[in-house]
Structures are given as C-alpha cells and as structure tokens.
Structure 1
Amino acid sequence: MSPTSRLIEELRDPWGLLLGATAGGAAWAVDVHPAAAAFVGVTVWLVKAGVALAQGRGARPAARVVASGSREAYWLDRAVSAARDFGELSASMGGGPFAGRIALMRPRIDDALATLERLAEQASRTGTALGRFDPVQLSREHDRLTRELGTAKKSVTDDIGRALASLAAQRDVIDRLTETRDQVLARMESSAIGIEGLVARVVELSAMTAAGALEPARVLDELADSLEGVRQGLHETERITRDALDPHDAPDR
C-alpha cells in the first residue's frame, strides 16, 4: 500500500474520529472558543493518523483483522466458502460455451469477496471503537446533569450546559458509528447469501444443461446481472460508509 493510501486509511479509522470528537468536545466543555475547540479536535485526529502512519513505516503490511466470532466474520466466512465452491465448480466444467460464461463471472466474484473483506474489517474496527464507550453511563450522566440543571444556581448553569453538549456530541458519534456498522452488516449478509444463491443456480444449470433440458444463455445473463448487482451494491456501501466516517462530514458544533 502506498504512503498516500495508508494515510487515507488511517484518517478513516473510526477511532481517530472518536478521539477527535471527544477532544473537541472536552475543549468546548472547559469554555474554549468553538473555533479553537474544533481546531483541537482536528489536530488530535491528524496527529493520531500521523503517529499510526509513522509506526507502520518499514513494517510488513498487516493482514486484515476481523474480530473472531463476530457477525462480520460469520458472513465473510459464508461468502469465502461460497466463492471457493464457485471456483471448484468452474474448474470442474472443462471447456465449452457454458463453462466459458461461468469462468467470466469469476473476476466479479473475486472483486465482491475483496470488498466484503474490507467491509468486514471496517465493521470490526467500528465495533472496537464503539466498545470504548458506555452508552448506559452516558445516559445516566445526561439524566443527572439534566436534573442538576433544573435546580442549579445561575453561576454554574453554563458549565452544566457545556457538559450536556459534550455528552450529546459523544452520543451523536456513537449513533453514527452504530448506524454505519448496521448498514455494513446488512449488506454483507445479503451479499453472502446472494453469492450462495448464485452457486446453487449454477449447479442446477450445469445439471440441466448436461441433460439437454435447458438452453442456459438467458438464465446466465440473469445470473451475471444479479452478480453485478451484488458487486456494485458492495462498492456503494463501502463508499457510503467511508463518507459517513469522514470527520469532514461531521456536523459543526
């Protein structure tokens, strides 16, 4: 991976976003000017990415890490197994127009699988970032501060208000990351099942064609279109979720 690509990946790290948002919220909570608080948040985000990039120089590219036993690992394993079955099926067909059409689908399967791997890693990293926060504790603190605000003296109401705003900012980050993770998992599920369905249909077509019971051209066109839909859907989800995790798109406070 090039240094530029590596830097982009680090900037998209959900934990970097969380660190930046939390630092900015903390600065605002201690009465720092909003513009300066935003600067603090962006600086922390950039420093985190820079340190991670420097630590990675000279090292071998790390394997993609997907949390063991997670939902994303489950759906990725299903997709990998289906892709392997597709490859074995394609290799067993020998020559002929039918085998040739099936072989042409393999690059799309491989591309879909590579995107699924990236999405699985993204889901795991997002899950790790979410695990650093305690929504129950945030809710309790919000309820407590809300009660205190109702009876507090005027001299401390501004401080309580800033603390509440910081809690709300953290809750917004958690909500965005949760929505992003759920969207990735839903796409992974539908794509893995879609690839499995494709394999099942190819097995059926192979048997029926061998028996002379079917002219597969039209059905193969439909399967190719379906596979392309899976592939494009995965790329679209990857783009949308990356944009959602981009700190530049975070709401101004």
Structure 2
Amino acid sequence: MHLRKFANPWWLLCGAVAGGLAWAVTLPIWAAAVIGVIIWLTAVLVFGFLFPSSAPTAPGPPTAAPEPVADPDAECARRARAAAASFAEAAAPLAHGPLGERVSRMLWRVEEIAASIAHLAGRTHELAALAGALAQDPYQRERAHRVAARLAEVRHRMHAATGDLAAAVRRLREAVPSPQAVPDTAALDRLAAELEDVGYGVDIGENMVAEFLGPEPPPVPGASAR
C-alpha cells in the first residue's frame, strides 16, 4: 500500500514540473533532476505519510437499535395486577358459598393493593425526577438525599407488597382447595389480616410520595390503568 504513494501521478507531476522549471532557469540537467526528485519525495512524505487523506469507507451494516431497558416499577405493577387477577380467579368459585362475604372482602383488598401499586409505579418516576433535579443544586443536595431515601423505601414497599399478593394466591388455594373441601377458616382469617397489613404498608408508601409531590388520589380498584 505504501508503494502506491510513491506512484501517485499528482506527486510525480509536482516533481517533474519542479525539475522542468529548474532546468528552464539554466540549471544543469543533473541539478534539475535532483530538485525534481526532492520535490517528489517531499510531496510523498508530506501528503502521503504526515497528512494522509483518509479514503472514504463504505458504510457498514446498520446497527440494531438497543434493547429498551426494562422499567422495574412498571414490571412490579404488572406483576401486582397479574397476582390480583389470579386471586380473583381462585376466589370466584367461593363467591356464592358460605365464605362469600369473607372472600369478597379479601378480593376487594387485593384489588385495592394492586391498584395502589400501579399508581405508585407512576409516582416513583416523578419522585426520581425530583431527586435528580434537586441533586443539580448544591444547596438542595440534602433534600435530594431525603427524596432518594424516600424513593428507595417506596420501591421496597411496592415490591414487597407485590410478593405478598403472589403469596396470597397460593395461600388462598391452600386454605380452600376446592368449593367442596372443608375450608381452613383460621388460615383465611390470618390471610385476611395480613392483607390488611399489606394494604396499610402500601398506604404508607402513598403518604411518603405525597410528602414531596403533594397528594394525588390513587385510582379506584378495578379502574383501567393510566
């Protein structure tokens, strides 16, 4: 590839012109030839090695678009909705039996928890944006740390509550394997009480968010997600 630089016709022409001009001013032929060679080699050195022109490269194949980064908060809300749907499916055969009122109360609480988690999933994005904006101001760094700590706590409550909802489906099926089976009423009572605690924990998360973003009513259970 380097040999091609010495054979570049433009640089050869530069050397020839320089030698011709030197001979035209009555210099000896050998001196004109030396000048021509010097000019030619100088052109090769300067334009071929010191400042080479980059040849255009053919465009490569288009790169694939990067995979979208999963949103853990949105995924948490999706799993909470799925758990609530599974709980409703498991509770449906019991709705009209002797356990109907008790199971309906638990079902309402499960749907409320899932709706609150979905609501919090959107509010956490606002809280994260607030923490990022405050962190840019040197005088607001302390408040930014408080917001970030609240955000971490809210997310912890969201994910913990989602896991509790998934576990509630399994526990309901264990307490009442079928509509004809003898229900484990003690297990149902424990499950109902624990669901109340889960809902209370999610409500605390709502209050934490409202502390910095202001209150916003969560969606009604069963309403379509925004």
TM score, norm. by length of structure 1: 0.52
Q: For 1:205 and 1:99, locate their aligned partners in 2 and report how far apart those are by CA, in whole Å.
A: 14
> Identity, % of aligned pairs?
25
3-state DSSP class of the match of 1:227? Answer: helix
Aligned length: 147
Change (3 A) 1:198 1:178: same
Tell whether the 8 Å contact from 2:127 to 2:213 is kept in structure 1 after alignment. Answer: no
Work out whether 1:219 is the aligned partner of 2:180: no
Normalized per residue, which structure has more helix?
1
State the one-letter code of the partner of 1:237.
G
Structure 1: 5+ residue stretches without partners: 1-66, 139-165, 247-253
**Structure 1 CA distance, aligned partners of 2:176 and 2:69?**
36
Tell me, yes or no, if the aligned pair for 1:71 and 1:185 is still in contact at 8 Å: no
Q: What CA distance in whole angstroms lies between the structure 1 residues aligned with 2:140 and 2:118?
A: 28
Query: Aligned partners of 1:94, 1:242: CA distance in 2, in Å?
Result: 36
The structure with higher relative contact order (CA 8 Å, sep 6+) is 1
Match of 2:142 in 1: 172
Q: Secondary structure at the match of 2:157?
A: helix
1:170 counterpart SS class: helix
C-alpha distance in 1 between matches for 2:213 and 2:181:
52
Q: Structure 2: how far apart are the matches of 1:216 and 1:68?
A: 44
- Alignment partners' CA distance in 1, 2:191 and 2:142: 41
2:81–2:115: 8 Å Cα contact kept in structure 1?
A: no
Please give the TM-score of this superposition, normalised by the length of structure 2: 0.57
Root-mean-square deviation (Å) = 2.6
Matches within 5 A, 1:1-253: 69-93=70-94, 95-132=96-133, 167=138, 169-207=139-177, 210-212=180-182, 215-245=183-213
Ranges in structure 2 where 5+ consecutive residues have no aligned partner? 1-67, 215-226
1:139-169: CA deviation from partner (whole Å, max 9, x where unpaired) = xxxxxxxxxxxxxxxxxxxxxxxxxxx61x2
- Name the counterpart of 2:49: none
Query: Given that residues 209 and 216 in structure 1 are in contact (C-alpha distance below 8 angstroms), is that contact kept between their aligned partners in structure 2?
Result: no
Structure 1 position 192, deviation (Å):
0.5
